[in-house]
Each structure stands twice: as structure tokens, then as C-alpha cells.
Amino acid sequence: MDVGGFGPTPELIDLKDFRAWILEEDAEILAIDKPGWIVCHPSKRGPLSSLIGASRIYTGIENLHLISRLDRETSGVVLLAKSRPVARRFQMALQNRCVDKVYFVVLEGSLHEPIRVNQPIGRDPCSRVAIRQTVRRSRSTRRAVSLFEPLINRNGYCLAKVKLETGRKHQIRVHAFWMDHGVVGDKIYGPDETLYLEFIEKGWTVRLEKTLPLIRQAVHAARLRFNFPEGERVFQSPFPSDLRRFCCQTMGIDKDELEENLADKYKIDQ
């Protein structure tokens, strides 16, 4: 079954493709529009198996620093710094919450009003999936806050904008699951976590295709805005074609209606 890069082992990155993913580059930073099939961190399969590895080859800089990172199946803005002082400046902005982080997601079910989720997140001790997180309160969990804003409800799904006040592992997906509005295509927090175990062992199977309406989780990191004393830095990634196709074909959203909603929410003050 041909699934492109979305097999259990991601395809190696072609540097010709990589150059087309560059959103912005200067002497300090490199902003990438990450496709959903790529991992951010290095792997044993060599530098072209990860975004950071390909970035090092492209720039010729070994000590690149990931400022923001995304789960493998999440698409959108990833920011890298070309030196430690620059990395420290951006990381301090993150720690001091001087950053505006905006995502678009497609959720199961309908959401009719904005919901602010303020629930701590930590590892799920009851799960067979080692990386699975959950909402629970203990000494090891950390505060997590997400604001979900519904944009369009159609055919049993909701296109929503999410703003994060914190940045925890799998935060959007965990909070969406906690709300009983799981992220479309999510193999870990979807209808059955054994789908994830099956995927990493066998790849995209007939069972996964019958169960999940999308080959990857419908999460897109649309914008990072850093507020510095000397001014702001804004990095934006356009809404990806696979999620656009799902919205129009599966949800039945009119193309013009989708474009209008997205354009409004991509505005900096939104």
C-alpha cells in the first residue's frame, strides 16, 4: 500500500525538496515548513532522516538549535537557530511566554463555542504506548493550557483554531481527547491506541485505512510570533494541501468559505 512518506519508517529527505520548505532564512534563524511525515530529531538512519539533520547539511552548520519542534505527523512551522546566543534569546521568549502559538486542527464531532482547557499533562501509566500522555494530577505532571476556537462544523467534524499558552508533549491531542473531540487521524489518542502499535510494526494497514479518515493527525502549526523588546518576529506556514482536501472533500466545506475563514485567522491580531 503506497502511503508516501507516512510509513512506519519515514522516507529520507531530498535536499531539493527541503529547499522548497524554507519559509525564511537569515544570519540568525532558519524557519521550515515541515511536512507531516518528517521527524524533527536525529535518528540512527543518518542525517537525511530528520529535519535537524537535513538542516545541518543545507546550512553547513553543525550546531543548529531547535527552537520549536513538532510531532512527526504534525505539519507546519519549525524554527532553528544558527548559534547558541540566538537560540538562548528565542528560548527565553518561550519560557517567558512572549510567544503566540497558533495551530489549526480538525476534530471529531462538533464544537459550538470556544473552550479554554486548563488541565495538567503527564505520561499515561496505564497505556501500552510508552509515549502516550494523559490529563492527570500528580507531582510529575505539568500545567498545560489550550484555547480551542471552532471555525466550521460540518459532517461530524470541526475545523478549529488552537492557541497554546504552554507547550507540553502532545498537548493539543491530549486536551482534544480529554474534551471527547479527538484529533482526526490520531493513531495514539484516536479510537484505539493499538492502531499506533500496529502502525509502527506493519505500517499503514487495511485496518488503519478502514478506521482512520486521514493518514496522519490533522494538526498544523500555522504561526509562531515572538515578541521581543526591539520588535516581533513572525513565522507563518500556509494551510497544507492534505488538510485542505479533507476539509473540502470529506467535511464538504466550500472552498471560498474555507479560504475566508483561514485568511481571517491568519491575521496577526487574531
CB 65 within 8 A of CB 87: yes
Contact at 8 Å (CB) between 125 and 140?
Answer: no
> Whose CA is closest to 119, among 138, 139, 137?
137
- Find the Cα–Cα–Cα–Cα dihedral 263, 186, 51, 239, rounded to 10°: -10
Name beta bridge partners: 99: 226
If you ran DSSP here, which 8-state letter would residue 44 be given?
T
What is the distance, to the nearest Å, from the Cα of residue 70 to the centroid of all Cα atoms in its chain? 5
Q: Is 14 a catalytic residue?
A: no
Are the C-beta atoms of residues 217 and 185 closer than 8 Å to each other? yes
* Active-site annotation holder among 14, 26, 33, 71: 71
- Alpha-carbon Rg of the chain, whole angstroms? 18
Query: Please, which residues bridge with residue 116 across strands?
Result: 147
Strand 75-81 to strand 219-228: parallel, antiparallel, or no bridges (unpaired)? parallel
Catalytic residues: 71
